[in-house]
Amino acid sequence: ALISLRQLLDHAAEHNYGVPAFNVNNLEQMRAIMMAADACDSPVIVQASAGARKYAGSAFLRHLIIAAIEEWPHIPVVMHQDHGMSPAICQRSIQLGFSSVMMDGSLGEDGKTPMDYDYNASVTREVVKLAHACGVSVEGEIGCLGSLETGMAGEEDGSGAEGVLDHEQLLTSADEAEQFVKDTNVDALAIAIGTSHGAYKFTRPPTGDILSIERVKEIHARIPNTHLVMHGSSSVPQEWLKVINENGGDIGETYGVPVEQIVEAIKHGVRKVNIDTDLRLASTGAIREYLANNPSEFDPRKYFKASMVAMSDICSNRFEAFGSAGQA
């Protein structure tokens, strides 16, 4: 059944669990997520990014999610729009039937320029008004996602930002978080604690100075009734990097957010955990490995099957670790 983000996260807060939010772009990801949810009896959040809309088209994405709800009617599904860069984009998603939207006013419409507090609060408030009138939930973001190691914000290669950000911008302050929730009435709040999108998050296994779970605790203590969201929360499994690199790939040494750190954050108010990169890595690794081992095979269903199994395995692992397994 289709449910709103608010309904799911209220339940998650009451029962002390977190829910992974997986990005979907195609049939294989959608089925992999749902097969794992079914096996683990977990509710799911599936989210469509601007890149996904460009790749698959809004209508296909929408129908993929509707098809999943039809095939697995006993699994609660949140259909979420990831990183909406304007109220107009969010409005369109609401019209298409999404049960939740993210208004990301931390960045401008170009998706890379850091914006000030007043802009962010004003576009987010506008979306909350519109969405709540339709029973749709809203996620906002305060603070700029980026690396505390390099000071770079934005995209995975560090090219996203207009410049280098200081420590203050890369860590959401409890004061701003509290004010932002008061000013906007968002259902869930994404915070910056040192994570970034993509595979290149940390040059070494992260310690507290570059991944601040302490900041999660501070913010949660200040706004205990707000559901917190962690973006850039792929763990970047070393075993999949190895499979990719052993089968013709070339990905440099890099580290993600350890699952144990996410589990710790879930104890302190994090309810939605965004994961995209991990499924990309598992899918690519499985396909590279399958093709290397089966050089004469040319039926795409064979290697897509391997990709689905690999992605599904990651999903099951996260449902179990975050405690959403058994909660459907």
Active site residue 183: no
Count of residues binding ligand G3H (CB under 6 A)? 9
Two structure tokens written together for 232: 């850039």
- Of 1-9, 208-216, 266-274, 300-308, the segment contacting Zn ion by CB under 5 A is 266-274
CA 219 to chain centre: 19
- Of 30-38, 70-78, 230-238, 318-326, the segment contacting ligand 13P by CB under 6 A is 230-238
Q: How long is the chain?
A: 328
- Enumerate residues 6+ apart whose C-beta is below 8 A from 260: none
Binding to ligand G3H (CB under 6 A): which residues in 251-280? 276
Catalytic residue among 41, 82, 276, 278: 82
Instruction: Kindly state whether residue 231 participates in binding Zn ion, applying the rule CB under 5 A.
Output: yes
Distances (CA, A) of 98 to 65, 184, 230, 281: 10, 20, 20, 27
Residue 293 CB, shortest distance to ligand 13P, in Å, is: 27
Around 71, how many Cα atoms within 13 Å sit in the side-chain half-sphere? 13
CA 268 to chain centre: 18
Rounded (10°) angle between helices 277-293 and 238-246:
40
Instruction: Kindly state whether residue 100 participates in binding ligand 13P, applying the rule CB under 6 A.
Output: no
Q: Which is nearer to Zn ion, 231 or 288 (CB)?
A: 231
Rounded (10°) angle between helices 300-322 and 27-40:
40
Q: Which is nearer to Na ion, 148 or 275 (CB)?
A: 275
Q: Which residues bind Na ion (CB under 5 A)?
A: 82, 102
Q: Which is nearer to ligand 13P, 299 or 321 (CB)?
A: 321
In contact, 28 and 311? CB cutoff 8 Å: yes
Distance CA 50, CA 244 (A): 26
Among 62, 215, 227, 231, binds ligand 13P (CB under 6 A): 231
Residue type, 128: V
Distance CA 122, CA 117 (A): 8
Instruction: Kindly state whether residue 51 participates in binding ligand G3H, applying the rule CB under 6 A.
Output: yes
Tokens 């996904």 sit on residue: 52
Residue 296 CB, shortest distance to Na ion, in Å, is: 42
Count of residues binding ligand 13P (CB under 6 A)? 14
Residues annotated as catalytic are: 82
> Binding residues for ligand 13P, per CB under 6 A?
23, 82-83, 197-198, 231-234, 274-278
> Binding residues for ligand G3H, per CB under 6 A?
23, 49-52, 82-83, 197, 276
> Binding residues for Zn ion, per CB under 5 A?
231, 274
